[in-house]
Structure 1
Amino acid sequence: MESEAQGLIDALALRPFVPRPFYERLPLKFYRGSYRDHPTDPLELTITIPGKDPRYEVDSIGTEPAAVAAFATVTEFHPTVLVSAGTAGSFAKHGASIGRVYLSDSTFYFHDHRIPLPGWDKFGKGAYPSLDVSHLARELSLPLGNISSDNSLDFTEQDLAAIVSHGAVVKEMEATAVAWVGYITGTPMFAIKSITDLIDTHPDAPSEFQKNFAMAVTNLTEKTLAVIDAFARTDEKTAVIEHQQKLPR
């Protein structure tokens, strides 16, 4: 959602950018700039927003817009790393709280792609890898958690069972689609997610999302800026490049 990204766009003084006329036919929005605190070795940044759906005039959310945005970003800008940043739900039983910000752990899953056919069952599950950001989690005192994605704000009992079986602690609507694009293009990817609702204590996700959204986005912006600062260091960029070379093609 654009409101999730606006704080980062403002803090980083990023400018709107249209890479080529083709994208004028899509609702995608691109913002570009260099990280201002590192003028001698600048970190080039792109924020891609899926934009508003032209038919329904709401923010384009979910896995399909996320995959399109991620693929367009990889195609046009060839990033060293992809990041899915946004809000999410979690579980009090795993120690989550409203506004707590997670980094992705080892794996991204889908929990609503139920395809009970040999081969397609694994495809539906996803299980795409996250870049190892455990060092960032330690440095910034952020928790790690596996992430599971679907296209619904609520969930069914089957969804919940799948989330549990995946060992996921974060439920959201985009990251696994971005991880799929990262996997098929050989681009390292991880996620930053700020919690708006606790599935096991406040099952009314829509009202909790609306009530807690502003605070969660403020925390998301703060922690994402801290992660960007860490990645601006030469040693972090080198580690990402080395990881990229090891990814299966």
Structure 2
Amino acid sequence: MASGPAEPATAGEDAGDVRFAEFSDLQLRERLQRIQNGLDRGVYSGLHDGGEKIHQLCRDIDHEIARRRKVFQAPPSSSFINLCRSAHYGGSKPHRAPVSAIPLAGEAGVEGAVEDRHSALHQLSDLALREKLRRLQDGVGVLAGHLPDGGRKYFAYIRAVRLELARRQALPSRNQSAAAEPGAGAVSKVLIVIAMQAEMLPLVHRFQLLEVPTGESIFPKGAPWARYCGNYKGLHIDLVWPGKDPALGVDSVGTLSAALVTHASIQFLKPDLIINAGTGSGFKAKGAGVGDVFLKSDVVFHDRRIPIPVLGLYGNGARKTFLAPPLFQVGKLSTGDSRDMSPHDVLEILSNGATLKDMEGAAVAHVADMFSTPAIFVKAVTEIVDGEKPRAEEFLQNLTAATKALDQAVAEVVNFVCGKCLSDL
């Protein structure tokens, strides 16, 4: 495969393997991880060539990722610089100014159409800003060229994020604190969002978390939500659970409770990273088995059907997740508020290519994305949707074993995160 140019490819230049042109960097990495997981499980061993073409595809994807990394690290072309200047300065050459004089995002100097989005940047944490920048950069090759203005506002927003990060780095107090704290920048606060008491208790015991008394709760009066907290290997862990329904005494499962408790927790606790842990129903046709643990690469709703242009996309709510670490199988998650499935649900789930379905994941993802908080989704399989046993019976029979597998999986994720920055994950 031909190697990439020394600077970002422009029209007429070699832009790498055409098979991967429609994939962002993040999508390529996820695709490579899925294939490698399949190789590790021997999924392709029965092919007539012994999986040689699959191995070659892995090598090609790896080569393309390396090529793009080289292009990204190369000095930018003059055309790229001019585009960024045009986007942020309206085409005029910028005057040199000290970083401290650079306006905060949202002040004078940032163009009007995206001014409202820029104004919110200074409210985000450093970790959230770096994650936002990573997502924007992953989308450059896929989105920018298809936008009505050719990506002008998109590049302006990327530049605003970079300027905000540079402004913060130049603050004297920031430099002093960074020098005083060798571990500065590492993930320090993790929020675990979980729906059921049976899923929650093993993690409370494992991490030796203590329940926060009602009188010290951060949650609104009357909310049944519970919070447990503690420290583990330098991480501060908060675990939140929607609690029991006050009237019926059952777990407050579903998207509404999950969204509310996630919103309140982000606002008060300001975590660096969210882990949504739970159990779900797996699809045998997609390779899921009882007790299997999956990291979810994509989340989507399957029961918010709005047959109106654009609003249908909103109802679907498809989102990419913060896919880290590469410890388990990877698959897509579909979320709905019912345990059974209507014929419409089945069609949606099949079209989404989901490996598991649950009742909370996409709601947590929606709120986390709203506040630019990275979220990892860890799900264990309790029952098989397309299996032979009655699902309710299988769920009750396997819940204990699945929560045990979930407990171990979340521990592995937390241990992997310890001492790392988001950019390292």
Bin the TM-score by the shorter chain.
Answer: 0.7 to 0.9
Deviation digits for residues 68-92 of structure 1 (CA, Å, limit 9, x no counterpart)? 1111110111011111101001111
Q: Which amino acid aligns with 2:212?
A: F
2:285/2:386 contact within 8 Å kept = yes
Distance in 1 (alpha carbons) for counterparts of 2:281 and 2:249: 24
- Match of 2:323, SS state, is coil
Worse-matched range after superposition: 171-180 or 200-209: 200-209
1:81 to 273, 281, 287: 273
Shift of 1:22: 4.7
- Match of 2:227, SS state, is strand
Q: Structure 2 length as normaliser, TM-score?
A: 0.52
Q: Which amino acid aligns with 1:84?
A: N
In structure 2, the residue matched to 1:111 is: 302
Question: Is 1:50 matched with 2:247?
Answer: no
Distance in 2 (alpha carbons) for counterparts of 1:30 and 1:193: 21
Question: Is 1:217 matched with 2:403?
Answer: yes
Q: Which amino acid aligns with 1:25?
A: G
Distance in 2 (alpha carbons) for counterparts of 1:156 and 1:209: 19
Distance in 1 (alpha carbons) for counterparts of 2:393 and 2:339: 11
Question: Is 1:29 matched with 2:226?
Answer: yes
- Match of 1:99, SS state, is coil
**What is the percentage of aligned positions where both structures have the same residue?**
31
Q: Structure 1 length as normaliser, TM-score?
A: 0.87
Q: Which amino acid aligns with 2:201?
A: Q
Distance in 2 (alpha carbons) for counterparts of 1:186 and 1:239: 18
In structure 2, the residue matched to 1:9 is: 204
- Match of 2:377, SS state, is strand
Which stretches of structure 1, 4 residues or more, deviate above 6 A after TM superposition? none
Go from structure 1 to structure 2 and tell me whether the alpha carbon gap of 1:21 and 1:233 turns closer, same or farther (over 3 Å shift): closer
The structure with the larger Rg is 2
Q: Which amino acid aligns with 2:244?
A: K
Superposed, 1:24-173 pairs within 5 Å as: 24-35=221-232, 38=233, 42-105=234-297, 107-133=298-324, 136-137=325-326, 140=327, 142-173=328-359
Q: Which amino acid aligns with 1:85?
A: A
Q: CA RMSD in A?
A: 1.5
Q: Which runs of 5+ in 1 are unaligned?
A: 241-249
Question: Is 1:205 matched with 2:391?
Answer: yes
Q: Which runs of 5+ in 2 are unaligned?
A: 1-195
Go from structure 1 to structure 2 and tell me whether the alpha carbon gap of 1:188 and 1:22 turns closer, same or farther (over 3 Å shift): closer
Greater helix percent: which structure? 2
Shift of 1:21: 6.1
Deviation digits for residues 139-168 of structure 1 (CA, Å, limit 9, x no counterpart)? x3x100110000111111211111111121
Greater strand percent: which structure? 1
